[in-house]
A and B are shown apart, each in its own frame.
Chain A
Amino acid sequence: MLVHSRTGRAASWALFAVLFVPLFAVPLLVILAASFSTHWSGAFPSGPTAGHYTAAVRGESLQALTTSLVTAAAASALALTLGTWAALAAAALRGRGRRLLDALFVLPLAVPSVVVGLAVLVAFSRPPILLNGTRWIVILAHTVLVTAFAHQSVSAAIRRLDPMYEQAAAGLGARPWYVLLRVKLPLLLPSLGAAAGLCFALSMGELSATMMLYPPDWMPLPVLVFTATDRGSLFTGSALAVVLMATTLLVLLAVSRIRTKATYR
C-alpha cells in the first residue's frame, strides 16, 4: 500500500472523491436525472416522468439503437479479424517490416476521426467502389477507426505469449494452422475479448466520422442524441444517451464474463 497511516489514507480517499465526483460522476448523474424530467428551471431538473424512455425504446429511437448495435458488432468483428491477422503477421516479421506494419495499423489512432470520415467519404463516393449513401460506408469507417485498437491490444498479447507453447505444439506434430487454432488463439482469447469490448464501446460512441457519412436509413444512436439536443430536446436526448450508455455497459459486461471464463492463469 502506498499510504500507510490511517489519516493519510482517509485524506487520499477524500482527495479522490473531490476529483472524481465532480469530474466523472456528476455529469453522468445529471444526464440520468435529466432523462427523467420534464423541465429544468432551478438548480435541479424537475417534473419526474418516464415518458422519454417510452419514446426512446420505440420507433426511430429503437431503430437507431439497432443500427448502432449492428454497426458496432460488425465493425468490432471486422476490426478484430483484421487486427489479429495483422498482429500475427507482424509478429512473424522482424525489424523494419514489423515496425512498418505496426505503424500502418496504428495510423488511424493518430489521425482525427473527422479526417478519417472525410477520407472514407472522398475515397468511396465514386466508382469503382461506391459506398456513399449505404450503411456499408458507416461500418467501413468504424472498422478503420477501431482496428488500430484491436491491433494494438492483440499484438501486445502476442508479445507476452510464451513461444514455448507454440514450440511444444510443433514438437508434438502440430502443423502451424493447427497450432494457431488450438493453441495460440485459445491462449489469446482473453485479450481478444478485451479488444472486442474496446472496439465495440468505441464504435457505439463514434460521432464525428459518422456525422459525415451516415445515410438517412442508417442513423446510429449517437447521431440521434446529437440531433435531439441540437434541436433543444435536452430531456429526450438525455434519455437516449442513458439508453446508449446502458446498452454499451451491458454488452461490455457480457464480454467481460466471457473473458473471465477464458482466463486460465
Chain B
Amino acid sequence: MTSGIRFDAVSVAYGDTTVLDALTLTVEPGEVMALLGPSGSGKTTALRTVAGFVRPRSGRVHIGDRDVTDLPPYKRGIGMVVQQYALFPHLRVDENVAFGLKARKHPRAEIPGRVAEALEMTGMAAYARRHPRELSGGQQQRVAIARALAIRPDVLLLDEPLSALDAQLRSGMLAELARLHRELPDVSILYVTHDQVEALTLADRIAVMDRARLQDCGTPQELYRRPRTEFTASFVGNANLLPVRVTAGGAELAGTALELPTDGAAPGSSATLCVRPHLVGLGAGPNALTGRIAEVQWRGATHRLYVDVGGHRVKADVRELRETPPLGSEVTLHFAPEDAVLLAAGVNDG
C-alpha cells in the first residue's frame, strides 16, 4: 500500500505567533517533496504536524486516506529521522533498529530478518553490535535511517537529516538517500531542509516556505528556471532581481531596452527581472548591459563579478578569467532573452 500526505489549510500558532499559516500541500504517493526555506519559515513545524508532535490550531492532516490530525504519534505509522539522529544511547545498533518493530508487537521471529535487511540497505550491517556512541555522525545517521525504514513506513519524514554532517559526507549521504528512494519507490518522503542543493538534488517537487507560508511549489526545474516569486528566485539559486518597466517587446532597465518574453505583462507596468548569475555573460551580445565593476571574487573555476548597472548591482558568474578586470573599469554584460523571467512586482509578499 502506498500513501501520500495531504495538508489541508493547516495552521499552527503559539499564543499570538503564527508559525504555520494555512498550509495546503499534497505529497503524492512515492514522491519526494522537499520543504525548503530559511529557519523560522515553518517547514519543520509542518513536518511535525505530520509526525503528531505539533497539533494544528486549524486544518487537517491526512496520511493516505486517513485523517491523522487527532491521532497520537504512535498510531500514525510514519518513519522519522531528525537532525540529531536521536538514537537511543542505551541500545545497540540492532536493538535501535528493532525498537519500532518490538514496540508495534511485530511477530518476534521476523524481527531479526527485518533488522538485518534495514542495516544491509544502509550499509551498516557490520556495526550491528555497536553502541551509538561508538559510531561517527554519518554512521549514526545511517542507523537512524535504518531504524525508520525497518518499520516499512508508507511515509518517511526527514528533518534536516544531513545538516549535522560535514560537507563531504553530506554529498555522499545525499547520493545514498537518492539510491534508497530508488529502491523504495513506494515510500513518500517529506524532506525538510534549508539547503537548496539538497532540495534540488533529491526532490521530485520543492515547496518553498517563508514566514510561515508556502511561497511556491513545483519541480526543481520549474522553480529554478521559472520562479514565480522573488523569494523563490533569490532563495533557490540566488538570482539577480532587477526592477524594470515592461515594454512592448521586453523591458527597460535603467534606460537600456531589453528583449525578453513578457508573458502577457502589461506594457508600462513595473516588474522584476530575474536572471541567474551563471547565465549572464561577459562581453557584447544580446541584451547588453554596460556598467562598472564593483567587486570581483575568485571562486576557483569561476569568477563572480559584481557590476553596477545604472545604480543596480548585477551578479555574473563567468569562467575563470586570465586577467581580472580592475575595479571601476567599464564592462559589458549580456544574457539570452530566454534565460530571463519577468516577475510581477510585489508577488514576493504573496
**A: which residues have CB within 8 A of B?**
162, 164-165, 167-176, 178, 182-183, 186-187, 189, 262, 264-265
Contacts and interface: CB of A to CB of B under 8 A. Distances in A.
Contacts of B52: 170-171
A168 B103 contact: no
Contact of B99 (A162, A164, A174, A189): A174
Contacts of B151: 172-173
Interface in B118-166: 131, 133, 147-148, 151, 157
B61 to A, nearest CB: 14
Interface string B77-89: 1111010101011
Contact of A167 (B53, B79, B100, B133): B53
Given A170-B73, A172-B99, A173-B74, 11 more contacts: A162-B84, A168-B82, A168-B88, A172-B79, A172-B104, A172-B148, A173-B104, A174-B99, A174-B100, A178-B103, A186-B90
A173 B88 contact: no
A65 B52 CA distance: 54
Contacts of B73: 167, 170-171
B103 A169 contact: yes
B51 A171 contact: yes
A186 B90 CA distance: 7
A65 B80 CA distance: 54
A192 to B, nearest CB: 13
Among B77, B82, B103: residue with most chain A CB under 10 A: B103
Interface residues of B, number: 28
B74 A174 contact: yes
Nearest to A175: B74
Contacts of B249: none
Contacts of B84: 162, 164
B72 interface: yes
Contact of A171 (B78, B88, B90, B131): B78
B74 A170 contact: yes
8 contacts: A162-B86, A165-B86, A170-B53, A171-B78, A172-B74, A175-B74, A182-B103, A187-B89
A183 B151 CA distance: 18
Choose among B78, B99, B104 the residue with the greatest number of A CB atoms under 10 Å from its CB: B99
Contacts of A178: 103
B187 to A, nearest CB: 15
A174 B99 CA distance: 8
A164 B62 CA distance: 23
A182 B51 CA distance: 20
A165 B96 CA distance: 11
Given A186-B90, A265-B89, A169 B99 contact: yes
A171 to B, nearest CB: 4
Interface string B161-190: 000000000000000000000000000000
A175 B52 CA distance: 13
Contact of A187 (B80, B82, B90, B104): B90
A168 B151 CA distance: 13
B208 to A, nearest CB: 26
Contacts of B77: 173
Nearest to B104: A173
Nearest to A167: B53
Contacts of A176: 74
A265 B133 contact: yes
Contacts of B75: 173
Contacts of A175: 74, 103
B163 to A, nearest CB: 15
B74 to A, nearest CB: 5
A93 to B, nearest CB: 18
Given A168-B80, A170-B72, A182 B99 contact: yes
Nearest to A163: B53
Nearest to B83: A164
A172 B105 CA distance: 12
A172 B103 CA distance: 8
A69 B167 CA distance: 58
Contacts of A183: 88
Nearest to A174: B103
| Top 8 A-B residue pairs of the complex, sorted by shortest distance between their CB atoms | A172-B100, A174-B103, A168-B86, A264-B89, A170-B73, A171-B80, A164-B86, A173-B104
Contact of B51 (A167, A189, A264): A167
Contact of B133 (A168, A173, A264): A264
Given A164-B86, A167-B73, A264-B133, A172 B147 contact: yes
**Max chain B CB contacts within 10 Å: which of A165, A169, A171?**
A171
Contacts of A186: 88, 90
